[in-house]
Structure 1
Amino acid sequence: MMSSSPSPSPRGRTVALLVVVLCWLAVLFDGLDMFIYGSVLPHMLATKALGITPGQAGDLGSYATFGMLVGALAAGTVADRIGRKKLMVACVTLFSLASGLCALSGSVTVFGLGRTLAGLGLGGLLPTAISMVSDYAPGGRGALTIGVLMTAHHAGGILSAYVAQWLVEPAGWRSAFWVCVIPLLLVPVLIKALPESLSFLLAQGRTDQARALATRHGVDLPEPKDTTGSRGRSPVGAVPALFRGGAWLQTLLYWLASFGGLLLVYGVATWLPTLMRDEGYNLGSALTFVVLFNLGGIVGMLVAGRAADRFGAPRISAIWFALTAAGVFLLSVRMPLGVTFLVVFLTGVFLNSAQTMIYATVSIRSAPDIRATAVGWTSGMGRFGAVFGPWLGGQLLAADHGDWGFTAFALAGVASTVFIGLAALRTPRRTARDDTAREAVAAG
């Protein structure tokens, strides 16, 4: 690290806290907007809102995840042009206004457009927020800071369940999407209080400005990247390196594991309340499952990193997916309510961090010069699973096979267990844990 200050100063800790709090709030609303559709979906189907059918509901869930795919892939390029701060502001503005469009929609088509636009903003926000907090994290606290940030996404999922429970029955489903417009109030605060990314300033060659900003806030200046050998080359140009020699097989295995993992994550996130209601639970219990699932996600994010440090990310990823598959399959079995609550919580613990461990595995086992490309494309290929998962749940319900929903998602977990296990056997461990933690979470 280039250091503009030998140790974190009180000012440095203050600005780090400010950046984390602002980014945490933005990601909280990101999670709220992502999970709100799944939370209100049982009500929308029961009341035939907008004339929606189960098949259309699955399509609508996929629209948002497709938007996230495009937003995530475009985020790096856009941020390199306009800056991390401006992109964060744009993403929050976009998904907030898009939620307003959903609330005003009078047809499935307009609602679908709103969810797609929201997905663009949601997909671009998280990697940008991670970059911001990484820049201003105190020395030696980068992984912990990112872990804290990641809890906001699941806190948003918890909030979505309570919004649905408190507002939807008395005020209708549109009220939930109006709540998702509230993040617009955060935009002026971000513009006024959030500093620009130090990494962006360095990448733009504005080293003096970055050094001055780092000195003023008492933080370390990130290590500038040597781009002399790759200037002008797009990330796509590095992709062939992922297939040279015997690397093609492990690359495909990583991509397949990521596809299955995100199919599982977004399929369950979209359909959990509806499938649980289909299993005979009332709406209140179904939304409690959302709360427990996301509480498990918070715990899992904090536990998985420590477990991976001790036992290795590839092993933890495979074990986590196997346990996830078992938990998801058990949800198709009618159990006492307390046992079901426990299974949902534990499934959240394993599922929400298993995918992150795929990125950690790719980062650990990729050569340094192609690591960013390897992690980025593994994430990007996985996003196709995120599109497919909600659609699959909708098709099963439309065909009156909702009882097969959890089984289908469990099979995706089994497949990811096999793929990441096979891929992990092929290459040796290569890199440091700190780099792994930052890059793995940044892809998610």
Structure 2
Amino acid sequence: MSSSPALSARGSRLALLVVGLCWLAVLFDGLDMFVYGSVLPHMLEEKALGITSGQAGDLGSYATFGMLVGALAAGTIADRIGRKKLMVSCVALFSLASGLCAIAGSVAVFGLGRTLAGIGLGGLLPTAISMVSDYAPRGRAAITIGLLMTAHHAGGILSAYVALWIVEPLGWRSAFWVCVMPLLFVPVLLRFLPESLGFLVAQGRTEEARTLADRYDVELPAAPADKPAGARWENLANLFRGREWVQTLLYWLASFGGLLLVYGVATWLPTLMRGEGYELGSALTFVVLFNLGGIVGMLVAGRASDRFGAPRISAIWFAVTACGVFLLSVHMPLTVTFVVVFLTGVFLNSAQTMIYATVSIGSAPANRATAVGWTSGMGRFGAVFGPWLGGQLLAADRADWGFTAFAIAGFSSMVFIGIAALRTTATSPRVAPAH
């Protein structure tokens, strides 16, 4: 690989382009994911489509169920057809599905739209993580993934302002029309996003991969050994070889609790805070602070994980998160509540992302999308359960128990990822890192 200054500078700019395109795709992912929680208070107040609190929780779970399906399927599909094609398909799917939500005349049609959107949203995230992992500088994989995930929370912030600036004058449907706009981004991805290096090598397209690696000034991943390219279930089976099944299950259980917490809070935070007596504007301010904290947390956690190890940082972050979420069930002055929400956002969102970083960094390039996709996908069971649980507690007039339940989920994730961290220290890595 050439090491000339001109090529290195050019390669760095092009590598930034890859991360930048994935960042924008994940921004739209975050907008579409968080917009439902942001407009939910309006929908409940207006009795839009005739929904009740219990149905609102069900609708939130429809999207996360779709994300479960999308995440489980994405890894295997991406390892077969390529990360780029799957990313483009996912962006197109959740954009069109948001249009279906915008024109929905019944709860059933709206729920179908959220389910289809969830499939696209669930497929995009692990695919984008795998893509940026391929192009991350040596020793900077965790911070690169953390940087990518700031886009998800930037999308959450954007969703709050969509609710404040657009929904008030134009109604709740306008928010979902805004979420159709990422469809315009599809041609940009098709034109400028390169294919994953790991995928190209795994498919035997070595010369094409080498050309890209030279162009982007990154290391060419090693070819997978003793495995025919494209073996349908081989990548999934690799997660259970020998004693790998123990580590895999620990990651899946930690992801379950983490995503229960993330999506439970993301769906119900504005509504729960409004139920505590805050005005809608203040309740949406919590969404902004929560996601600003997420952005800060991604950068801090990514840097710390590159230095101390992603599973260790994730365990510590979950412990602090559990304390912060529990504090939200205690009535506090508004300023103190703002601080607690911000700090909870710092630790909560990045704790879950560092599970993905742990899996991504410790997986072979040819197997990475499957490993991350299935960790995300199994965690989506928690993402389905979290919004449903919040809705049931709210319908039973026990909203204060919602924060306690979410805190317990955070504690459980701390335990599982903590055990995984100890096993990582005591044993050799599950797979040699690609970078």
* Counterpart Cα distance in 2 of 1:362 and 1:134: 11
Deviation digits for residues 276-322 of structure 1 (CA, Å, limit 9, x no counterpart): 11111111011110111011111111111333355544443332222
Aligned equivalent of 1:277: 274
2:338 corresponds, among 341, 353, 356, to: 341
2:413 is aligned with 1:416:
yes
1:388 corresponds, among 385, 388, 408, to: 385
Q: List gaps (5 residues or longer) in structure 2.
A: none
Aligned equivalent of 2:298: 301
- Describe the shift of the 1:147–1:321 C-alpha distance in structure 2 as closer, same or farther (beyond 3 A): closer
Of stretches 362-371 and 94-103 in structure 1, the one that deviates more from structure 2 is 362-371
* Counterpart Cα distance in 2 of 1:37 and 1:124: 19
Aligned equivalent of 1:319: 316
Shift of 1:149: 1.5
How many residue pairs end up in the alignment? Answer: 431
- Describe the shift of the 1:197–1:235 C-alpha distance in structure 2 as closer, same or farther (beyond 3 A): closer
Instruction: Verify the 8 A CA contact 1:9 1:219 in the aligned structure 2.
Output: yes
- Describe the shift of the 1:154–1:50 C-alpha distance in structure 2 as closer, same or farther (beyond 3 A): same
Identity over aligned residues, as a percent? 78
Q: CA RMSD of the aligned region, Å?
A: 2.9
1:219 corresponds, among 217, 220, 229, to: 217
Aligned equivalent of 1:228: 226
Shift of 1:240: 4.0
1:80 counterpart letter in structure 2: D
* Counterpart Cα distance in 1 of 2:47 and 2:37: 15
Aligned equivalent of 2:238: 238
Instruction: Verify the 8 A CA contact 1:4 1:218 in the aligned structure 2.
Output: no
Deviation digits for residues 339-377 of structure 1 (CA, Å, limit 9, x no counterpart): 111000000011011223344566789999999876654
Shift of 1:261: 1.3
Instruction: Verify the 8 A CA contact 2:269 2:287 in the aligned structure 1.
Output: yes
Instruction: Verify the 8 A CA contact 1:367 1:430 in the aligned structure 2.
Output: no
2:404 is aligned with 1:407:
yes
TM-score when normalising by structure 2 = 0.90
Shift of 1:157: 0.5
Instruction: Verify the 8 A CA contact 1:134 1:146 in the aligned structure 2.
Output: yes
Instruction: Verify the 8 A CA contact 2:198 2:366 in the aligned structure 1.
Output: no
Aligned equivalent of 1:190: 189
* Counterpart Cα distance in 2 of 1:316 and 1:10: 32
1:305 counterpart letter in structure 2: G
- Describe the shift of the 1:21–1:434 C-alpha distance in structure 2 as closer, same or farther (beyond 3 A): farther
Instruction: Verify the 8 A CA contact 1:135 1:198 in the aligned structure 2.
Output: yes
1:329 corresponds, among 326, 330, 336, to: 326
2:263 is aligned with 1:266:
yes
* Counterpart Cα distance in 2 of 1:93 and 1:210: 26
- Describe the shift of the 1:5–1:117 C-alpha distance in structure 2 as closer, same or farther (beyond 3 A): farther
Shift of 1:250: 5.8
* Counterpart Cα distance in 1 of 2:336 and 2:36: 26
Deviation digits for residues 41-92 of structure 1 (CA, Å, limit 9, x no counterpart): 1111111100011111111111111111111121122223332222111111
Secondary structure at 2:195 match in 1: coil
Aligned equivalent of 2:41: 42
Instruction: Verify the 8 A CA contact 1:273 1:286 in the aligned structure 2.
Output: yes
Of stretches 173-182 and 419-428 in structure 1, the one that deviates more from structure 2 is 419-428
- Describe the shift of the 1:369–1:431 C-alpha distance in structure 2 as closer, same or farther (beyond 3 A): farther
- Superposition pairs of residues 19-418 of structure 1, within 5 angstroms: 19-138=18-137, 141-215=140-214, 217-229=215-227, 232=231, 233-241=233-241, 244=243, 252-359=249-356, 377-418=374-415
Deviation digits for residues 205-243 of structure 1 (CA, Å, limit 9, x no counterpart): 22222333444x35235213324246535334335436x
Deviation digits for residues 1-57 of structure 1 (CA, Å, limit 9, x no counterpart): xx4657752321232222222221111111100100010011111111000111111
TM-score when normalising by structure 1 = 0.88
Shift of 1:430: 3.0
Shift of 1:381: 2.3
* Counterpart Cα distance in 1 of 2:367 and 2:134: 22
2:149 counterpart letter in structure 1: M
* Counterpart Cα distance in 1 of 2:306 and 2:21: 29
* Counterpart Cα distance in 1 of 2:81 and 2:420: 37
- Describe the shift of the 1:248–1:139 C-alpha distance in structure 2 as closer, same or farther (beyond 3 A): closer
Of stretches 107-116 and 141-150 in structure 1, the one that deviates more from structure 2 is 141-150
* Counterpart Cα distance in 1 of 2:143 and 2:375: 23
Deviation digits for residues 313-344 of structure 1 (CA, Å, limit 9, x no counterpart): 44433322221111111112221111111000
Shift of 1:131: 3.0
